[in-house]
A and B are shown apart, each in its own frame.
Chain A
Amino acid sequence: MTQAVALLERREAARPISRMTLTDFLTSAGVLNEARRGKLLVLVNGRVVPPKAFRSTVVDEEAKVVVLRPVVGG
């Protein structure tokens, strides 16, 4: 139960971003490691961002960031 509350609180703490690197954004969303390993699709303003560009990509409140766990063929 404590874990569940902690998880909820962490989710709330990771809310609005002012200006940060994509690496920080992914860290706060708890998906950086997976994204670095190429297991997630990361889009910023409609463009795919490769893992090597995470640090150099800056996102602010106006940025449209999408992180997706890719689909697989059935």
Chain B
Amino acid sequence: MERQDIPVRIGSWEIRPAGRSLILRSGDLEITVPFRDKADLLSLRLLTDMIKLLDDLLQRGSLEFRSHVKLTLKRLDERRWLLSARGEVRYDVELTTEEALLMALAMKDAGLPIWPPEQDTYGLLIMRLMRSRLSALARLLTPFAHLGPPIAWKRIVATVMRDRLERAEIRQGGVMAVPRPKDVVAFLRPRERYFVLTLTRAGGSGLLGLLNRLSEVLGYRELRIEADVAAQLLIGEEPVDELLSRSEAAVRARRFLVKEIFGIDVPEDGPAEVHIKNRYGRWTVSLDDGCLKLNGIHICIMQGWSRPYGVIQLPGIGRLELDEMTAKVLNAVAVALWPEKVRDRALKKQIEKARRMASFRRILGRVVRRFLRLLGVRTEGILTLTARPLML
């Protein structure tokens, strides 16, 4: 008998693995939970945790998750549920019972903490980590982690939302702020295979504020968002600015700022990097993540945590508070342009080390070349010699 043919029974639920999915049945209800790997080797703990969550939701008729967004699932009547998101992302969608159950499993597997926390200190710790910059660590501590292959929660969220969501508002001001129409910086709408983020040209801070202000200059109003990223955004798994930080639009905006502020041209068709050459050597700054290199050696830099990370005022754009990553990119370019102005000891030390390393390499290269010249060997000859065995 195949492993797949043996159903497991927990309470009123019958569970049957089917390839990369798990079919859960209870009375009239049947849901298919997709996994990221084969679902035939799941721990009993994972199954009981899943069933407990589903039974809790069905019995209580409501469930609340809190991360960067407050998400509430609430039963409207026997067949209809309401999923509401409040905070950075705001929407209300009506779901069937099956969809509500799937969404609850997806949100739980994404590591979103349930509110109020079940176990006092443990739950609160996860809550705190989730709302801080350590959400990745919080996800590792969640009950579903390490108990089997992860649920394909992004697929669940994207599929359900594609069917149900008309549009979600992306706002500035967070959960606690009084909602005002002018705080809406973008709308997220589903399309057939992806999602579209339409900028409203509002917003005075952060990456979306920057993209809004630059949308006219850079000539875009809509951004295409992959379904996976849209899923993360819709359940508030990461802050919106962080999710869009490596997007093409963000890179274009940073390319524009580097040109405007420092007068350095970064070609659109080349890599998303700023190259600077000075007496310290060759510097490279990535527009994606602000990664800084001197003479090929990585210089570890961190953006100071307190806000504002940066403020800019540009003609035709006005004043704007920068997001963390864009501030880091501009900072890295400033370090490369004026390394002698760096005050931080740890950073100075790294720069000096990378500089010395390059000088050492240069001197070594010069000595070797001179020595070879004395022996009557040309550098090209050496290259040919070293290349030959590889060619053979």
By a beta-carbon cutoff of 8 Å, the part of chain A in contact with chain B is 1, 4-5, 8, 11-12, 14-17, 25, 29-31, 38, 41, 43, 46, 48, 59, 61-74
Contact = CB atoms under 8 A, between A and B. Distances in A.
B271 interface: no
Given A64-B313, A72-B347, A74-B300, A1 B334 contact: no
Given A66-B310, A68-B331, 17 more contacts: A1-B176, A5-B177, A5-B178, A12-B204, A15-B319, A46-B261, A63-B315, A65-B312, A65-B313, A65-B314, A66-B313, A69-B304, A69-B306, A69-B308, A71-B290, A73-B349, A74-B300
B311 A72 contact: no
A25 to B, nearest CB: 7
A19 to B, nearest CB: 12
Which 8 residue pairs across A and B have the least CB separation, nearest first?
A73-B346, A73-B347, A74-B300, A65-B313, A71-B301, A69-B304, A68-B310, A71-B331
B261 A17 contact: no
A20 to B, nearest CB: 11
Contact of A48 (B313, B341, B345, B350): B341
Nearest to A25: B313
A45 B261 CA distance: 7
Contact of A4 (B177, B341, B347, B349): B177
Contacts of A48: 338, 341
Contact of A17 (B177, B308, B319): B319
Contact of A69 (B178, B312, B327, B332): B327
A38 B343 CA distance: 10
A67 to B, nearest CB: 4
Interface string B316-339: 001101100001101110110010
Contact of A73 (B204, B263, B338, B344): B344
B357 interface: no
Interface residues of B, number: 50
A15 to B, nearest CB: 6
Contacts of B313: 17, 25, 59, 63-66
B205 interface: yes
Given A14-B319, A29-B319, A64-B315, A71 B204 contact: no
A68 B262 contact: no
Contact of B311 (A4, A8, A31): A31
Contacts of A5: 177-178
B302 interface: yes
B348 to A, nearest CB: 7
A8 B206 CA distance: 13
A31 B327 CA distance: 15
B344 A69 contact: no
Contact of A64 (B260, B299, B334): B260
Given A12-B204, A31-B311, A64-B261, A70 B318 contact: no
B315 A68 contact: no
B302 A74 contact: yes
Chain A CB within 10 Å — which of B308, B313, B314, B346 has the most?
B313
B334 A43 contact: yes
